[in-house]
A and B are shown apart, each in its own frame.
Chain A
Amino acid sequence: MIVWEIFKMAVGALRVNKLRTSLTLLGIIIGVSSVITIISALEGLSQSIRAELNQLGPTTFIVTRFGLIRGHDAFMEALKRKPMKYEYLSDIEKGCKDCEKVAARSYIMGEVKFGNRKLKRVLIGGGTANIFDIVDLQLGQGRLHTLEEDQSRRRVAFVGATIAEELFPGLDPIGQTMKINNIRYEIIGMAKKKGATMGEDQDKFVFVPYSSFVRDFTDPHMDLDIFVKASSVERLPEAMDEVRVILRSVRHVPFEKEDDFGILTADAIMAAINDVTKYIRLGLIGISSIALIVGGIIIMNIMMVSVTERTREIGIRKSVGARQRNILLQFLFESLVLSLTGGIIGITIGVVLGDVLINLIKMQMTPSLFAIAIGLIISTGVGLFFGIYPAMKAARMQPVKALSFE
C-alpha cells in the first residue's frame, strides 16, 4: 500500500522534529480545547434545562398570565393583564374534551422555621393534588398531599432536600411540624435532591395544598399557573386550541385582540431559551474559534517552513518516481496527523473543562458526543484547510529546481 508507506513517512518526519511538532501541537490543542470547552459547556447547559423541562411530560402545557415575554415593552404590556383565576380550572375541565387533567400551581417567597433554625428566601408553592399527576416532583420519602387534604385545607407540606438538610440535620423530617411564614405545617413527604440550575438551588422549596396556600399565604385573586395534560400527544394541539378558546371567552378577550395569556409547552420553552441565547452562544463559539484559527495558522506556517527546508528531499523523491499526489499526500498527512493528534488532546481537555464549568454553576452533564464529533470534524478541517496549500506547493515543485536547491 503506497498510501500506508506515505503515512509512515509523514509520521517519521514528525518524530524527527520533536520540538517543532510539540509546539505545533500546543497551538492546535489550545485552539480545539477552547472551542470544545465552550461547545460542551453550552451543550451541558442545554442538557440540564432540557432535564428540568422534562418534568413536564410531552402531553403537558402550561397556561400563564405572561407566557414567554421577550423584551421590556411586551413585559410592561403584559403587566396590565388580569391574573389567571382558580375558576378557570373548572371552565377548562367542563369545556375541553381533549384535556385529561387540569391543575393549578402558584408560588410566593417566604421563610420556614423549626425550633431556632430558620431559612429565608424559600419558595413556597401551592398546588392542587392532581398537579402531581402532571409534573414529576420526584418524591423521595413519605407521600404527597391528597385531594381530600386539598379540599379540607389541611396544613401538610412536601419539602425539598435543602429544607430537610438545613432545618432537620440528623432528624427524620417526616412527621415533624415546622412553621411556614409562622403557620404550623406538618411534613408529609420529601423530594429527591435535584441540585441546581443556573446556580439556583432547586431543593429550597416547600409545597402545600392549593386551598391551604390561598388561605394562609395569599388571597383568592392570586395569579396562578394552570397545568393541563392533554389526553394524548396527538390530541395536544386540539387541547391547546380548546383551552385557548375557553380562556379568551372567560377572560372576555375581544375578537380582534391578541390573547392576554400565554400557552407554553416544554418544546416552546426550550425553543425560546435557545432563541434568546442564540447570539450569546454564537459569540462565545466565535471568540473561542480565534484560538483555533491561530492554531491553524501555526500549522500552515510550520508546514511552509518544512516544505522549503525539505525541498531537496522532495526533489529526490520526485527523481525516483514520486508523483504529485504522493508528495501532496505526504505533507497533507503531516498536517492531518498534527491537527488530529492536537484535536484529540484538545477535545479531552475541552470536555473536562466544559464539565468543570458546568459544575461551577452547580449543574451536571454527560460528556457531549456532539462536542466530540464537532471537535474531530474541526481538527480534520483545520489540518486539511491549512495543510493543503503547503502540500500543493511541495507537490508542484519542479524536480530539477528542487534537486538543485541549496
Chain B
Amino acid sequence: MPLIETREIWKTYEMGATVVHALRGVSLSINKGDYVAIMGPSGSGKSTLMNLIGCLDTPSSGEYYFKDKQVSHMTDDELAVIRNREIGFVFQTFNLMPRATALHNVELPLIYNGTPRLNREQKARKALNIVDLGDRMLHRPNELSGGQRQRVAIARALVNEPSLILADEPTGNLDSKTGLEIMQLFSRLHKEGNTIIIVTHEREVATYADRVLHILDGMVDRDEVITVAEKSANGTNL
C-alpha cells in the first residue's frame, strides 16, 4: 500500500476571464520510507502539487489518497487534522512564529492536538535535540542563524512523528554550506525511517533523494531513479 497516491489530479485557477491549469492530470504514488524530490522550473506546477500533497489545498478534480483515505473531498477541518498528525512541513522561508522561542515554535503542532503541557515540552525538547539545537531551545528566531531557524522548522515538522515530511525549497534561503548541512540532516532523517518529499528546482538538491519526479507544464514529465553511482559522483550519497 502506497503512503500517498494521486490519480489524474487537476488544479485549475480562474483568474478573471482566463483559466489557468496549474496541474493537468498528475498521477503518482509514493511509498512509506521513500525519499522523493519533486523538481521543475518555476511555473511548472510543482508548488501547486506540493500544496495538494501537503493537504493545504484540494484538487479541482481527480483523486488523492493519503494512507488509503480519500483526501480530495475533505473539509478544511478534516484536512487540518491530517496536516497536524500526518504531515510535517518545512518551508523555504522557515515560517516560524517570530515572537515565540524555538521550544514554543516546536510545541505549536502539539498544542492543536491537545497534548498535555508536560508531554508537549518533553516531545519538543526531544525533537530539538534530534536537530542538534538542544542548547538553543529558549532562543527566538531573530536570535538564531538561518540554518538554525530551518532546523527549528524541521524539529517542528518532526515533533508529531508524522508519516510524511514535506519540504518546499528548504535550502532556498540558505548559503551553500548551511544548505548542505540541512540536506545532510534530511538524509539522516530518511535513514532513520522518515518519508521525505523535497520540492526544488535545483538538480544538486534533488540528487539527495532516491527518486526525482520531473514536473513540466502541470504534468509528470519523467520519473527518474537516482542511482548510487550518481549520488557518489555528486557527493550526495550520505
Interface residue SS majority, chain A: helix
Q: Tell me whether A319 and B89 are in contact in the complex, defined as CB-CB below 8 angstroms, given that A2-B112, A400-B56, A400-B57 are known contacts.
A: yes
Instruction: Give Cα A326 to B76, complex, Å.
Output: 12
Whether A323 lies near B81 (C-beta < 8 A) is yes
Instruction: Give Cα A16 to B89, complex, Å.
Output: 27
Q: Which residue of A lies closest to B120 (CB)?
A: A5
Which chain A residues lie closer than 8 Å to B54 at the CB level?
A: 319
Whether B111 lies near A5 (C-beta < 8 A) is yes
1/0 contact string of B77-110 vs chain A (CB within 8 Å)? 1001101110001010001110100000000110
Q: Is A244 at the interface (CB under 8 A from chain B)?
A: no
Instruction: Give Cα A313 to B85, complex, Å.
Output: 20
Whether A320 lies near B97 (C-beta < 8 A) is no
Whether A323 lies near B57 (C-beta < 8 A) is no
Q: Tell me whether A316 and B57 are in contact in the complex, defined as CB-CB below 8 angstroms, given that A326-B112, A400-B51 are known contacts.
A: no
Which chain A residues lie closer than 8 Å to B81 at the CB level?
A: 321, 323
Whether A2 lies near B114 (C-beta < 8 A) is yes
Q: Is A322 at the interface (CB under 8 A from chain B)?
A: yes
Which chain B residues lie closer than 8 Å to A400 at the CB level?
A: 51, 56-57
Whether B56 lies near A399 (C-beta < 8 A) is yes
Q: Is A22 at the interface (CB under 8 A from chain B)?
A: no
Q: Which residue of B lies closest to A316 (CB)?
A: B95
* Nearest Cβ on chain A to B159's Cβ, whole angstroms: 9
Q: Which residue of A lies closest to B117 (CB)?
A: A5
Instruction: Give Cα A5 to B114, complex, Å.
Output: 9
A16's partner among B76, B83, B99, B112 (CB-CB below 8 A) is: B99
Q: Tell me whether A320 and B112 are in contact in the complex, defined as CB-CB below 8 angstroms, given that A16-B99, A400-B51, A403-B95 are known contacts.
A: yes
B113's partner among A313, A319, A321, A403 (CB-CB below 8 A) is: A321
Which chain A residues lie closer than 8 Å to B125 at the CB level?
A: none
Whether B95 lies near A319 (C-beta < 8 A) is yes
Q: Is A317 at the interface (CB under 8 A from chain B)?
A: yes
Which chain B residues lie closer than 8 Å to A325 at the CB level?
A: 77
Whether A2 lies near B111 (C-beta < 8 A) is yes
Whether B56 lies near A321 (C-beta < 8 A) is no
* Nearest Cβ on chain B to A319's Cβ, whole angstroms: 5
Which chain A residues lie closer than 8 Å to B123 at the CB level?
A: none
* Nearest Cβ on chain A to B69's Cβ, whole angstroms: 16
Instruction: Give Cα A398 to B51, complex, Å.
Output: 11
* Nearest Cβ on chain B to A8's Cβ, whole angstroms: 9
Q: Is A312 at the interface (CB under 8 A from chain B)?
A: yes
1/0 contact string of A296-318 vs chain B (CB within 8 Å)? 00000000000000001101111
Which chain A residues lie closer than 8 Å to B96 at the CB level?
A: 316
1/0 contact string of B130-166 vs chain A (CB within 8 Å)? 0000000000000000000000000010000000000
Instruction: Give Cα A12 to B111, complex, Å.
Output: 15
Instruction: Give Cα A319 to B109, complex, Å.
Output: 9
Instruction: Give Cα A393 to B208, complex, Å.
Output: 41
Whether A312 lies near B113 (C-beta < 8 A) is no
Q: Tell me whether A321 and B112 are in contact in the complex, defined as CB-CB below 8 angstroms, given that A399-B56, A400-B51 are known contacts.
A: yes
Whether A399 lies near B57 (C-beta < 8 A) is yes
1/0 contact string of A390-406 vs chain B (CB within 8 Å)? 00000000111001000
The listed residue with most B CB atoms (<10 A of its CB), out of A1, A318, A321, is A321
Instruction: Give Cα A82 to B227, complex, Å.
Output: 120
Instruction: Give Cα A42 to B170, complex, Å.
Output: 66
1/0 contact string of A96-127 vs chain B (CB within 8 Å)? 00000000000000000000000000000000
Which chain A residues lie closer than 8 Å to B84 at the CB level?
A: 320-321
Q: Is A151 at the interface (CB under 8 A from chain B)?
A: no
Instruction: Give Cα A399 to B156, complex, Å.
Output: 17
A321's partner among B51, B57, B85, B97 (CB-CB below 8 A) is: B85
Which chain B residues lie closer than 8 Å to A321 at the CB level?
A: 80-81, 83-85, 109, 112-113
* Nearest Cβ on chain B to A152's Cβ, whole angstroms: 88
1/0 contact string of A372-406 vs chain B (CB within 8 Å)? 00000000000000000000000000111001000
Whether B95 lies near A312 (C-beta < 8 A) is yes
* Nearest Cβ on chain A to B154's Cβ, whole angstroms: 13
Q: Which residue of A lies closest to B52 (CB)?
A: A400
Instruction: Give Cα A301 to B96, complex, Å.
Output: 26
Q: Is A54 at the interface (CB under 8 A from chain B)?
A: no
B77's partner among A2, A5, A323 (CB-CB below 8 A) is: A323
A-B residue pairs in contact (CB < 8 Å), sample of 6: A1-B114, A16-B99, A319-B89, A320-B83, A320-B108, A403-B91
Closest A-B pairs by Cβ, 6 of them: A321-B84, A320-B109, A321-B112, A399-B56, A323-B77, A323-B80
* Chain A residues at the B interface, C-beta cutoff of 8 Å: 1-2, 5, 12, 16, 312-313, 315-326, 398-400, 403
With A2-B112, A316-B97, A321-B80 known, 10 other A-B pairs at CB within 8 A are A5-B111, A312-B95, A316-B96, A318-B56, A318-B80, A320-B156, A322-B80, A323-B76, A399-B56, A403-B91
